[in-house]
């Protein structure tokens, strides 16, 4: 579906992307992982033809982006990292504009907006000006914009940054839902997000691809995985059990693990 071949991008003397190649298959959810400034956004801007690459090429569905970007843009829905929206429009005005400019026919426009509003849960804010929306709603309007024309490919640049854990889960589920039929590339710098949603992961650092594969494969390859742990349920006195375990051959350490994550607690409280 998407072929990225030997992509490089230079700004002056700084190389932001250095000879990157990977491909995304149809119907796949690809997580694009890497620290801030690794080149994730740059790659996405090149796929969407906002920027031109210094060298290399991107093919979408067999069409070279630089040669016929009007065609490739039609297949792509894109949410930029900054979630740019026209602030002085009402949400409904904006969605209508997006639907029209995306070429949805007059008789389908109402229905399609309804569907998108439904799946992004925007009903309550339809009549609000965009500059009065909360971060979570902005993000959802941004996603609504990206899926409006039912694109084959969805490119989401850090769709969950700045959201609270509940909203993060919602957006993740939305991505999973969309990803059932569509090809999705989304970037993040949160590891757990990737394992929760993605079929495949590309990890990028300083403009180069450092690892690629399913989340399980990547974990398998990392050093941390070589140490294994066993979870034991106990009753009675912890201390004596621990002492007992420590005596077993091959055990490096034993400790009581009673932490639940903050995320779990938050979800419990905000249910």
Q: Which residues bind other proteins (CB under 8 A)?
A: 45, 48-52, 70-71, 73-74, 76, 78, 80, 82, 84-89, 93, 97-98, 100-103, 145
Burial of 202 (0-12, 13-18, 19+ CB in 10 A): buried
Among residues 87 and 181, whose Cβ is nearest to other proteins? 87
In angstroms, what CA-CA distances link 268 with 106, 161, 192? 44, 21, 19
- What pairing do the DSSP bridges indicate for beta strands 183-188 and 200-205? unpaired
Among residues 129 and 165, whose Cβ is nearest to other proteins? 129
CA 221 centroid distance within chain: 22
Among residues 72 and 160, whose Cβ is nearest to other proteins? 72
Q: Which of 74, 82, 20, 80 is nearest to 50 (CA)?
A: 80
Smallest gap from Cβ 37 to other proteins, in A, equals 18
Tokens of 236: 């009675």
Among residues 71 and 217, whose Cβ is nearest to other proteins? 71
In angstroms, what CA-CA distances link 96 with 51, 139, 140, 177, 180? 27, 17, 15, 23, 26
Radius of gyration of the chain (CA): 22
Among residues 86 and 266, whose Cβ is nearest to other proteins? 86
Among residues 151 and 215, whose Cβ is nearest to other proteins? 151
Smallest gap from Cβ 89 to other proteins, in A, equals 7
Smallest gap from Cβ 222 to other proteins, in A, equals 34
Q: Which of 185, 181, 217 is nearest to 3 (CA)?
A: 185
Q: Can you state the percent helix, strand and coil of the chain, rounding each to 5?
A: 40, 25, 35
Smallest gap from Cβ 125 to other proteins, in A, equals 17
Smallest gap from Cβ 234 to other proteins, in A, equals 55
Smallest gap from Cβ 225 to other proteins, in A, equals 39
Smallest gap from Cβ 265 to other proteins, in A, equals 35
- What pairing do the DSSP bridges indicate for beta strands 153-157 and 183-188? parallel
Among residues 99 and 122, whose Cβ is nearest to other proteins? 99
Residues 6+ apart with CB under 8 A from 103: 74, 149
């Amino acid at each position: 579906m998407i072929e990225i071949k030997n992509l490089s991008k230079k700004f002056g003397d700084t190389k932001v992307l250095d000879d990157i190649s990977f491909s995304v298959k149809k119907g796949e959810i690809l997580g694009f992982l890497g620290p801030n400034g690794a080149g994730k956004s740059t790659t996405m801007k090149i796929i969407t033809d906002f920027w031109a690459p210094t060298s290399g090429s991107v093919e979408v569905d067999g069409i070279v982006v630089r040669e016929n970007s009007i065609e490739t843009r039609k297949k792509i829905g894109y949410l930029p990292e900054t979630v740019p929206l026209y602030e002085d429009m009402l949400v409904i005005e904006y969605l209508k504009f997006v639907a029209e400019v995306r070429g949805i026919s007059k008789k389908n426009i109402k229905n399609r907006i309804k569907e998108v509003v439904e799946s992004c849960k925007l009903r309550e804010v339809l009549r609000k000006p965009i500059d009065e929306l909360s971060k979570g709603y902005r993000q959802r309007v941004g996603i609504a914009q990206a899926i409006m024309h039912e694109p084959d490919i969805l490119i989401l640049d850090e769709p969950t940054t700045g959201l609270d854990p509940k909203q993060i889960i919602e957006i993740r589920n939305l991505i999973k839902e969309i990803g059932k039929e569509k090809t999705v590339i989304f970037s993040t710098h949160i590891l757990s997000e990737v394992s929760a949603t993605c079929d495949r992961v590309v990890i990028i650092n300083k403009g180069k691809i450092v690892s690629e594969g399913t989340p399980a494969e990547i974990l398998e390859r990392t050093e941390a995985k070589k140490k294994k742990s066993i979870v034991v349920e106990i009753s009675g006195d912890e201390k004596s059990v621990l002492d007992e375990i420590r005596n077993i051959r091959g055990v490096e350490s034993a400790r009581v693990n009673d932490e639940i994550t903050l995320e779990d607690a938050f979800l419990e409280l905000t249910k």
